[in-house]
Structure 1
Amino acid sequence: MNDLLHTKNAAGSVECLGVTFPSEDARREHFLGLLAEKLKDPAFRNQEGFPQGSDEAILAMSDPPYYTACPNPWLADFVEHYGKPYDPGHEYSREPLAIDVSVGKSDQVYQAHAYHTKVPHLAIVPSILHFTDPGDTVLDGFSGSGMTAIAAQWCDAAPLAYRHQIELERHKAGLPAPRWGARRAIVGDLAPVATFISANQTIPFDVPGFEVEFEKLLEATSQKIGWMYETLHSDGKTKGRIEYTIWSEVFTCPECSAEINFVAEAMDQETKKVRDSFSCPSCNAELTKKRLDRLYTNQFDAAIGENVKTPKREPALIRYTVGGEKYEKKPDNSDLKIIQRIAEIDIPSSVPKSLIPPMHMTHERARMDYSGITHIHHFFLPRAAHALGTMWDLADSNVDERMKRVLLYVVEQAIWTMSVLNRFQPQGFKQVNKYLPGVYYVPSHTCEVSPWYAIGARGKRLARTFSKFEPVPGTSIISTGSATQIDIPDDSVDYIFTDPPFGENIYYADLNYLIEVWHGVTTDATPEAIIDRFKKKALPDYQHLMQRCFAEYHRVLKPGRWMTVVFSNSKAAVWNAIQVALQQAGFVVAEVTALDKVLGSYRQVTSTTAVKQDLVISVYKPNGGLETRLEERGAAPESAWDFVETHLRQLPVSKVNSGILEIVVERDPRRIYDRMVAWFVRHDFPVPLSTEEFLDGLRNRYPERDGMVFLPEQVADYDRKRAQAAQAPQIELFVSDERSAIDWLTDFLRKRPSTYQDVHPEFTVQMGAGWRKHEEKPELATLLEDNFLQYDGKGEVPNQIHSYLSTNFKDFRGLEKDDPRLKAKGKDRWYVPDPSKAKDLEQKRERSLLKEFESYKSAPGRRLKEFRLEVLRAGFKTAWAARDYKTIIGIAQKIPEEALQEDEKLLLWYDQALTRMEANA
């Protein structure tokens, strides 16, 4: 394996980054020394997204050069030694690939460690195989728990059954067999806890030795604090081991003020479920939880030296084992004495006792102080704190540095489940990891689990997992820091797969703090790409941060190569922010797909209002020749057609799902126009062609099939697929604004030229619930008049109407176009104009739109209550061409922010206008 970052020869010496060391310990000591020197450099520590923590804590987490709990100084060395330099002459051609981002969630490697969100490595492997060759470099700057790095190794480690499955699926899709073999991965994340997980799952360790050491840890824990989890059996003599204890908050009755143990009174003892209502044990008043008042106690907290107010809790039920049998009991006096004894002992020093910093999740979303939690150790009942602190100390004291980190990797998995966040759920198989995901939520009845019950089985399970999937040393390098700054050369990465945070779905930094604080290294949330009202980060802030990250991705990706972005947010405004950020960074969107969970097939997204599930966005970085030619020619029509040629070559020629031929959405003429406009705007050039000039040029230059545009050399391939299909592909249209209403009418009238009375009922249905909130609804008559032609019954019947009538009505078959019967039947029908007349209508409509835009500019007041998006789009485009950025910004401020954010085109013009105004200031 001499081509890898890390090699080991027969004598036991280790080669790493071109340097030979006598052992792994020597290698680690050498690079830790270099990292220690780096950490003393203020400029190094001043990098954006540098984690918060001492030098000692960062070094303790790190295993350089493979992994650093800070920005990794060896990323550039990794690329220099083992990357493939960009070769403009290298022939490379790929089409977008749709993937199922949910596949593989039951795989053992995926389940080895929980993280808030992650795309399974088995869902990533097909993309890496498709877009890269063995030895290529893959990047993920939002890597979370490192699934992309695992996927890169899986391309070599995959078993034969999996390889056969992938090859069969590619064969069915008409794709060649992939080239198996490991790819190298550069992965990073802002969160130290995430990169620590990545490191422990991609850096090899002694698996048999780990299993032994973990059992030793559990045994040592039992020897130190095992007495805390002992309880007397029903015979009064035999000691059992507690699996978990259900604790209940204590409330007061609103009628008699008596204390009420919520679990004891409200839980059905047979089903273990909480009843909707129950009786007060003192006054028999009918009660519900909403009627109860929480009871608080004030007690001295020795850890912080002050009194704290906390909800009163009492143990209500104990689950324990004796001789392998499971039993339940109510706590007796012996149990209560042990609990009291534990509470009087100082908790271990390794348990964090720091004040919880201000954050959305604990100070706004869920007020932790209402639950008596102001410091980290308050998340744990005294017994759990002793158990966690003991296990942490035992893991941290292991003399083998690699073993120490993998043991901490396991112990930290008990932190959430052993906290007061762990809910009791009787319907569950086990009471482990029952906390509400994605939020700090303290339940009224919490389930305090023992360390053996929480993670006792993990040692053997992880040993089985990593004996089957053996990480390969040196194939991955891991960094902790912001994706806005990736220290590798330009044009050095072969492919990017990334699953960034989207909007305000998950507050990663807030949630990660509970574990990171144990390591003493926490996330710098300042550059976190998120919408967070508490930190005063709105959607525009999120968009600009994502744009900076995508710009860095664009810088390091080789020209002509691809990036896959997984999108997981149902809000159209966030989706548009992502699209604009991608385009401003220099990427071109080639395909957006979603998995239809019902049909099990992929569908292309045709509307920004149709974001209902996980989307996979395929974008590419245009080759350097396109950029160079644009700079040479400037805003010339030839530059527009140069872009079109490049873009069409990147798009799939056909899409077949379950044997059905589909529309390739990106080949729609107007979608191509939008991509071309974004390209010129991003490069600060005026758009060289009007809409009608562009569409007319497309018709004259390129063949069209089923409403899609192709290169001449592509159309024959499509025609073959079309001949094999049972029917012509149908585009899925969602009517949400004036533009999509025109598109729907075009599709409708092209198939069925109709009178106003025929169109109106179906058009009304389309103008239903999906209409944009602030968009003015146009009249059908106006849309028909401005965009279509009506046959007045004079002269020959137009071809479109003649074809429709003669095909669908047997009485009109074989009639000449000037036959009176045909003319009478065709009179007053609206139809789609032929290209030459369509151009005239477009020009007429454009003048009308710009005239109305002038009225928006002169409208009194600070806000426009209703407006037409088509007017705004036409006005913004014209103002951009005139470099009138002030008008764009002024009008944008007159419309609701929601309307601006939910329209990709307006957002693009506005954001660029702001950028230009700031640059000129």
Structure 2
Amino acid sequence: MNGKKYELTKEILDSLRDVEGFPIGKDEDIIALSDPPYYTACPNPWIGEFIERYGRPYDPEERYEREPFAADVREGKNDPIYNAHSYHTKVPHKAIMRYILHYTDPGDIVFDGFCGTGMTGVAAQMCGNPDPEFREKVEREMPDVVWGARRAVLCDLSPAATFIAYNYNNPVDPVEFEREAKRILAEVEKECGWMYETNHLVDGKVQFKADLDGTRTPVKGRINYTVWSDVFVCPSCSEEIVFWEAAVDQKEGKVRDEFPCPHCGAMMTKRSLERAWEYVHDEAIGETVRRAKQVPVLINYSVGKKRFEKVPDENDLALIQRIEEVEIPYWYPTDRMPDGYNTEQPKVSHGFTHFHHFYTKRSLACLAVLWNCFRFQDRKITSRLLYSFTSLYQRVTKMAEYRKGGGSGNIPNFYIPSFNWEPNVYEVCKRKLRNIITALIAMSLCRSQNTISTQSAGQLHQIKSSSTDYIFTDPPFGGNIMYSEMNFLWEAWLRVFTNNHSEAVVNRVQRKGLPEYQALMERCFAENYRILKPGRWMTVEFHNSQNRVWMAIQQALTRAGFIIADVRTLDKKQGTFKQVTTTSAVKQDLIISAYKPNGGLEERFKLTAGTAEGVWDFVRQHLRHLPIAPEKDGILQYVPERQKHLLYDRMVAFHVQRGIIVPISAADFYLGLYQRFPERDGMYFLPDQVPLYEQKRLAASRVEQVSLFVHDEKSAIRWLRIQLSDHPQTYQEIQPKFMIESRNTDRHEAMPELADLLEQNFLKDEEGRWYVPDPNREADLEKLREKALLREFETYKTTKGRLKVFRTEAVRAGFKKCWSERDYDMIIEIGDRLPPEILQEDDVLLMYYDNAETRLENN
């Protein structure tokens, strides 16, 4: 930046140690891994300078308006940039580009606090020079797109992740890199080639060739991979059984569920076997270790361009034994495996207590040679070579599972398969380098710099408030992946490790449950909220099949101050998005669009908080941030956030999160909404939004119908409103359909009878047909219904013990009344009596409960 020289020193590191997420490692290793000012393997002290140099200060007068990005995104993973390096989760950069192009202008600052491999940074750069085919495709979908590079600030807790991200975002000359890579590979092959030689057999006989001097030498093949098998002990005769030989049907390539012992003939299953163990001297740590016995059972090799397979012969076994006895002359990691949720399985099942136990001696020796050669090159070339090295990851460990026909499957979470695939490390590296060179060529036109920091996203002191223009992030999702554990295999080579104290994860070994996860995510989102400019957007991609984790994320977002404007689910089969019509049904990937209220709203709200004027000011601003008329394939899509009950929920959340009493009842809110804002198809709009919606509605082939699953009282009422909105119906007409839809009601839900639901929420004409009431009458019905719900809530207060069956709507109404009366103790008392999973999966109940806890702690 500005030609200034930057150096990361031990004095600077000392000043950063108190920053949350400072990694574990020696100063010299952190410094060696870093490339200041654009990348540091620790908290980056130059982020603020980067933003000041390339960004624009927040201007309250700047006009900025964007709807949530509501178009379909179809981007596969068959891209050279995407495939250059493996990681546990990764969003294709071309998908992220669409969001960046929609929400930002050229030169804007984009932030990602859970950057992983840095795809957000790649996307920001590629907006400046996309490939022609992608450019043409985007311009068809987004006619108003403005091309131009954006700048990215990337952050992750993991040194492995930020190192990968740095290399994805650090331009390198692909020609120079390829020349150096080929030179090094030639050196490695010269030193390690003998480890991957085997005699060529035909019909079990060694083939020979005649040399120039007339001597005959065996024809040598190059080993492509070796398959290793677990060894077990027969419980009947105590003889050892090579699992591959006993259980695999060689013709079908399948593992039999039941098979005979080759020694005594007793029938058995894998579960009935005991593992065979052996004791060996581990020269790396100077100890005798106990490990699961594994033996080579199949070698796949090439002679010329032809491939062959063989059972290891005496020469192959002698070669393996020779390699076992050779001392590796280069450094390699010997760190002890950390305690973790997933790291115990290999310790218990195979005795893998240290890093190097995950490799065969041959693979470890070859990797050590590669690592030694890679580390003594030009700084930028060295970094990219080491990045290439880390891209090998599981494929060269004993976690790579053998699959019929060759190749391997990468198994997550440190699972050690019964048949593992030991590849020729040199060949794997050569193929990977070709992929990386292809990716480098694709990225060679991107010359803008991004900046990367290794730290917690929950403490971003280097970044000023209201200084970033957009946030795209793909955060950790509960307990699905233990990043700090899985990244250990990378970080041991890099010699810098994740400080997992602030890792946002559900992990019993770290003593983090869902509440701890939510609290950590809330801190991260709070920092995101602080650094984001008012009125700007954050996109959160979230993957989880557990409703309670989605509730935790949603609650963390709203407690941080964000307002959720749109939630869509990614249909992986179709590659499309569909809007979420309930707040708790999460079975697919979510795309969450949330915004930070603009400064004007917040300033006005300080003056009008607790008044009806503040309520309607919020609603006007929120409606302005919602999609107006998204369409797909000629079908006008429904916008759930424009429904009255969700508008009411967002308004209540806005008040509660700021500690303000909600000044208006649901009945008065619905009436006021009807009086102030035009309604179309069950959705509410600002007056100036209606012409566009009606124009789109006329042009559309049809309007999307909302599909609704009835699981509780609230969803039942919404289902009835949809049923009765077209034409009035009698009880007899409604009842059969309602019985079908409500057959899967939540077990805890004390669902009122259909007659009571109709009586409390709808009106009946002279012919006995139920219909949706006029909004002016609806307010009176809502007040009567609220009284009935509060009477029900009073009965819960007089009982003791767990509430096993109850009306969720009554608890919601009761919590709302307790909040208005500042009776936080009662909210906590009733909340503690609810089933924990219900409290965690209901966004309204959780919001009141969490905020009541906060109020009590602060008092």
Identify the TM-score tier after normalising by the shorter chain: over 0.9
* 1:135 equivalenced with 2:111 (yes/no): no
- Please say which of residues 115-124 and 402-411 is displaced more in the overlay: 402-411
- On the 8 A contact 2:731/2:769 being kept in 1, the answer is yes
Identify the match of residue 347 of structure 2 among 368, 372, 376.
368
Q: Distance in 2 between matches of 1:81 and 1:111?
A: 32
CA separation of 1:383/1:36 partners in 2, compared to 1, >3 Å: closer, same or farther?
Answer: same
- On the 8 A contact 2:70/2:630 being kept in 1, the answer is no
Residue 19 of structure 1 corresponds to 3
Identify the match of residue 180 of structure 1 among 142, 147, 155.
147
* 1:679 equivalenced with 2:618 (yes/no): no
What CA deviation, in whole Å up to 9, does each residue of 1:540-561 have, x standing for no partner? 1111111111111111111111
* 1:331 equivalenced with 2:270 (yes/no): no
Equivalence map 1:843-854=2 (5 Å): 843-854=783-794
User: CA shift at 1:460, angstroms?
Assistant: 2.6
* 1:894 equivalenced with 2:833 (yes/no): yes
Q: CA RMSD in A?
A: 1.7
Q: Distance in 2 between matches of 1:59 and 1:99?
A: 43
User: CA shift at 1:919, angstroms?
Assistant: 1.1
- On the 8 A contact 1:99/1:127 being kept in 2, the answer is no
CA separation of 1:114/1:103 partners in 2, compared to 1, >3 Å: closer, same or farther?
Answer: same
CA separation of 1:555/1:492 partners in 2, compared to 1, >3 Å: closer, same or farther?
Answer: same
- On the 8 A contact 1:68/1:480 being kept in 2, the answer is yes
- Please say which of residues 650-659 and 598-607 is displaced more in the overlay: 598-607
Residue 336 of structure 2 corresponds to 355
Residue 414 of structure 1 corresponds to 392
User: CA shift at 1:323, angstroms?
Assistant: 2.3
User: CA shift at 1:225, angstroms?
Assistant: 2.4
Residue 213 of structure 2 corresponds to none
Q: Distance in 1 between matches of 2:387 and 2:600?
A: 47
Structure 2 gaps of 5+ residues are 202-206, 209-217
User: CA shift at 1:597, angstroms?
Assistant: 4.8
Residue 211 of structure 2 corresponds to none
Equivalence map 1:249-268=2 (5 Å): 249-268=230-249
Residue 621 of structure 1 corresponds to 596
CA separation of 1:292/1:443 partners in 2, compared to 1, >3 Å: closer, same or farther?
Answer: same
Identify the match of residue 209 of structure 1 among 176, 190, 208.
176
Equivalence map 1:817-836=2 (5 Å): 826=767, 828-836=768-776
Q: Distance in 2 between matches of 1:313 and 1:593?
A: 48
- On the 8 A contact 2:338/2:485 being kept in 1, the answer is no
Question: Which amino acid in structure 2 is aligned with residue 194 of structure 1?
Answer: A
* 1:870 equivalenced with 2:809 (yes/no): yes
Identify the match of residue 663 of structure 1 among 638, 643, 654.
638
Q: Distance in 2 between matches of 1:281 and 1:407?
A: 48
- On the 8 A contact 1:388/1:415 being kept in 2, the answer is no
What CA deviation, in whole Å up to 9, does each residue of 1:37-92 have, x standing for no partner? 21133xx1121111111111111111111111111111000011111111111111
Q: Distance in 2 between matches of 1:546 and 1:343?
A: 47
Question: Which amino acid in structure 2 is aligned with residue 220 of structure 1?
Answer: E
Question: Which amino acid in structure 1 is aligned with residue 299 of structure 2?
Answer: I
User: CA shift at 1:100, angstroms?
Assistant: 5.3
- On the 8 A contact 1:706/1:729 being kept in 2, the answer is no
Residue 423 of structure 1 corresponds to 401
- On the 8 A contact 1:900/1:906 being kept in 2, the answer is yes
* 1:40 equivalenced with 2:17 (yes/no): no
Q: Distance in 2 between matches of 1:621 and 1:281?
A: 69
Residue 702 of structure 1 corresponds to 677
- Please say which of residues 142-151 and 244-253 is displaced more in the overlay: 244-253
Q: Distance in 2 between matches of 1:451 and 1:728?
A: 57
Residue 506 of structure 1 corresponds to 481
* 1:530 equivalenced with 2:478 (yes/no): no
User: CA shift at 1:458, angstroms?
Assistant: 2.1
User: CA shift at 1:676, angstroms?
Assistant: 0.7
CA separation of 1:411/1:596 partners in 2, compared to 1, >3 Å: closer, same or farther?
Answer: closer
- Please say which of residues 830-839 and 80-89 is displaced more in the overlay: 830-839
What CA deviation, in whole Å up to 9, does each residue of 1:557-597 have, x standing for no partner? 11111111111112111111111111111111111112345
- On the 8 A contact 2:83/2:435 being kept in 1, the answer is no
What SS class does the counterpart of residue 240 from structure 1 fall into? strand
- On the 8 A contact 2:116/2:156 being kept in 1, the answer is yes
Q: Distance in 2 between matches of 1:199 and 1:471?
A: 17
- On the 8 A contact 2:537/2:596 being kept in 1, the answer is yes
Q: Distance in 1 between matches of 2:329 and 2:731?
A: 80
Q: Distance in 2 between matches of 1:249 and 1:460?
A: 33
CA separation of 1:415/1:348 partners in 2, compared to 1, >3 Å: closer, same or farther?
Answer: farther
Q: Distance in 2 between matches of 1:536 and 1:752?
A: 55
Question: Which amino acid in structure 2 is aligned with residue 480 of structure 1?
Answer: T
* 1:313 equivalenced with 2:294 (yes/no): yes
Q: Distance in 2 between matches of 1:229 and 1:621?
A: 59
What SS class does the counterpart of residue 837 from structure 1 fall into? helix
Residue 451 of structure 2 corresponds to 477
User: CA shift at 1:723, angstroms?
Assistant: 2.4
What SS class does the counterpart of residue 314 from structure 1 fall into? strand
User: CA shift at 1:18, angstroms?
Assistant: 2.0
Q: Which of the pair has the greater relative contact order for Cα pairs under 8 Å at 6+ separation?
A: 2
- On the 8 A contact 1:493/1:556 being kept in 2, the answer is yes
Q: Output the TM-score relative to the length of structure 1.
A: 0.89
What SS class does the counterpart of residue 260 from structure 1 fall into? strand
User: CA shift at 1:335, angstroms?
Assistant: 1.4
What SS class does the counterpart of residue 358 from structure 1 fall into? coil
CA separation of 1:599/1:319 partners in 2, compared to 1, >3 Å: closer, same or farther?
Answer: closer
What CA deviation, in whole Å up to 9, does each residue of 1:454-497 have, x standing for no partner? 22222233222212221644521011111112221111111111
* 1:91 equivalenced with 2:63 (yes/no): yes
CA separation of 1:158/1:726 partners in 2, compared to 1, >3 Å: closer, same or farther?
Answer: closer
- Please say which of residues 76-85 and 725-734 is displaced more in the overlay: 725-734
Identify the match of residue 418 of structure 2 among 423, 432, 444.
444
Equivalence map 1:723-872=2 (5 Å): 723-769=698-744, 771-791=745-765, 793=766, 826=767, 828-860=768-800, 862-872=801-811
- On the 8 A contact 2:73/2:575 being kept in 1, the answer is no
Question: Which amino acid in structure 2 is aligned with residue 368 of structure 1?
Answer: K
User: CA shift at 1:768, angstroms?
Assistant: 2.2
What SS class does the counterpart of residue 724 from structure 2 fall into? helix
Q: Distance in 2 between matches of 1:726 and 1:337?
A: 74
Q: Distance in 1 between matches of 2:6 and 2:348?
A: 43
User: CA shift at 1:616, angstroms?
Assistant: 0.8
CA separation of 1:619/1:858 partners in 2, compared to 1, >3 Å: closer, same or farther?
Answer: same
Question: Which amino acid in structure 1 is aligned with residue 174 of structure 2?
Answer: V
User: CA shift at 1:883, angstroms?
Assistant: 1.4
- On the 8 A contact 2:803/2:833 being kept in 1, the answer is yes
What CA deviation, in whole Å up to 9, does each residue of 1:587-630 have, x standing for no partner? 11111112345665432101134312111111111110100011
Q: Distance in 1 between matches of 2:66 and 2:286?
A: 64
User: CA shift at 1:754, angstroms?
Assistant: 2.1
Identify the match of residue 164 of structure 2 among 186, 193, 197.
197
Question: Which amino acid in structure 2 is aligned with residue 385 of structure 1?
Answer: L
CA separation of 1:893/1:74 partners in 2, compared to 1, >3 Å: closer, same or farther?
Answer: same
User: CA shift at 1:850, angstroms?
Assistant: 1.3
Q: Distance in 2 between matches of 1:419 and 1:672?
A: 52
What SS class does the counterpart of residue 592 from structure 2 fall into? strand
User: CA shift at 1:416, angstroms?
Assistant: 1.7
- On the 8 A contact 2:828/2:849 being kept in 1, the answer is yes
Question: Which amino acid in structure 2 is aligned with residue 673 of structure 1?
Answer: Y
Residue 818 of structure 1 corresponds to none
What SS class does the counterpart of residue 652 from structure 1 fall into? coil
**Once superposed, which parts of structure 1, at least 4 consecutive aligned residues long, lie more than 6 Å away?**
none
Residue 144 of structure 1 corresponds to 116
Q: Distance in 2 between matches of 1:99 and 1:653?
A: 12
- On the 8 A contact 1:215/1:459 being kept in 2, the answer is no
Q: Distance in 2 between matches of 1:277 and 1:233?
A: 34
* 1:711 equivalenced with 2:689 (yes/no): no
Q: Output the TM-score relative to the length of structure 2.
A: 0.96
